[in-house]
Structure 1
Amino acid sequence: MASCTGYLLGCVFIVAALLQGATAAQTIHVVGDSIGWTIPPSNFAYQTWAANQTFMTGDELMFNFTNGAQDVAEFLKTDYESCNVSLTNAISPVFGSSLYITIETAGEHYYTTTVVDHCKKNQKLTIIAYGTPISSPPSSATSLTNGGFSLFLLLLLSTAIALF
């Protein structure tokens, strides 16, 4: 019975070690909530919506709109503010419907549509994202260097517990 308990406890340590490397789930922000991505009604502002959100690198913005009726793109601040927006000066144009855009860097991001006059009708969104830039996942060698030693110690401890 004691060895069974030790074995079970060892398994718990192994699972805990494996979960240690897991990252927290990122947030998906549905832009405009139920209104979606469209010319906003007079009682709604995307900036007010954004002020009630906390954006982190790795989060996703989900833009809901009808394909062909809207688009969304990120622009430089000056183009965004003046509504000088077109596909040619967009930082990252995106097409489709129910699009997900991953926030990859911290700082201010400016989104609007290239549909004529929609920017001037306040279909635009500024967000401020916090966090560190998203990088590619570490190689397996780096992962072993960073977390491998603690995993080794947990395996050693669980084996010792199982034997006693």
Structure 2
Amino acid sequence: MLHRLSFLVCLLVIINTVSAREFVVGGSKGWTVPSDDQLYNQWAEKSRFQISDSLLFVYQQNQDSVLQVTRDAYDSCNTKEPTAKFTDGHTSFKLDRSGTYYFISGNKDNCHKNQKLIIIVMADRSSTNTTTTSSPPPSPSVESSPSPTYTGTFEITPAPSQDTPGNSASPFASSVLPSAFIVTMFLSLFR
């Protein structure tokens, strides 16, 4: 029985590792000044980023860098006070939370030529909220209030296109197949 439990724990660790993906920013061209003004953000819109995925920025170490910045710094290409700065030429950045990330080139001229990227990481829907409230939610009022307006976001398509560089993993392969594999392996332990 202990052998089966050890096997199951190892299997779960492997499956968790397999489900995280690495996205190569810019594909084979790497992190460079794009030929199309919206290349990076169009690429990001076609990808579905999850917590634990990572971005790989490949660039000339002495000629460029990657800065993680605020929205304001992204909009103005402000390279003065980044949240994080990477200069190694082969930067792997782990997406450790849901929300929006902003990246720009450390070379201000390159940033003004649209070498910048917005990434939206999806919320983790696999964990369940176990907190309970002591009172029921308020009932809707008769007056309708306007819906909140969201700015700076864009629609993320469910599956990347075949020509998307650096993104070969499909959402089906990374979510459904590992789950099916876990169930199959678990059931085989009790035969």
Query: What TM-score, normalized by structure 1, do the two folds share?
Result: 0.67
Provide structure 1 residue ranges, at least 5 long, that are not aligned to the other structure: 1-9, 133-153
Which one of the candidate residues 6, 9, 13 is aligned to 2:4? 13
Contact 2:77 2:108 in 1 (8 A): no
Greater relative CO (CA pairs within 8 A, separation 6+): 1
When you count helix as a share of all residues, which structure comes out higher?
A: 1
Aligned residues: CA RMSD: 2.6
Q: Deviations over 1:68-111 (max 9, x none)?
A: 1110011000110111223xx10011111121011111100000
Q: 2:74 maps to which residue?
A: 80
Give 4+ residue runs of structure 1 displaced > 4 Å after superposition. Answer: none
SS state at 2:103 partner = strand
Q: 1:42 deviation in Å?
A: 3.1
Structure 2, unaligned runs of 5 or more: 125-185
| Aligned-partner Cα distance in 1 for 2:101–2:49 | 11
Partner of 1:118: 110
Shift of residue 18, structure 1, vs aligned partner: 2.1
Q: Does residue 107 of structure 1 match 2:107? A: no
Match of 1:136 in 2: none
Cα separation, partners in 2 of 1:40 and 1:74, compared to 1, 3 Å? same
Identity %: 26
Distance 1:71 1:115 in 2: 7
CA distance in 2, matches of 1:97, 1:130: 27
Q: Within 2, Cα distance between the matches of 1:112 and 1:69?
A: 14
Residue in structure 1 matched with residue 121 of structure 2 by the alignment: 129
Q: Evaluate the alpha carbon distance shift between residue 99 and residue 131 of structure 1 in structure 2; reply closer, same or farther with a 3 A threshold.
A: same
Cα separation, 2, equivalents of 1:124 and 1:104: 20
Distance 1:44 1:115, change over 3 A: same
SS for the counterpart of 2:109 is: coil
Are the structure 2 counterparts of residues 34 and 43 from structure 1 closer, same or farther at C-alpha, using a change threshold of 3 Å? Answer: farther
Output the amino acid matched with 1:90. P
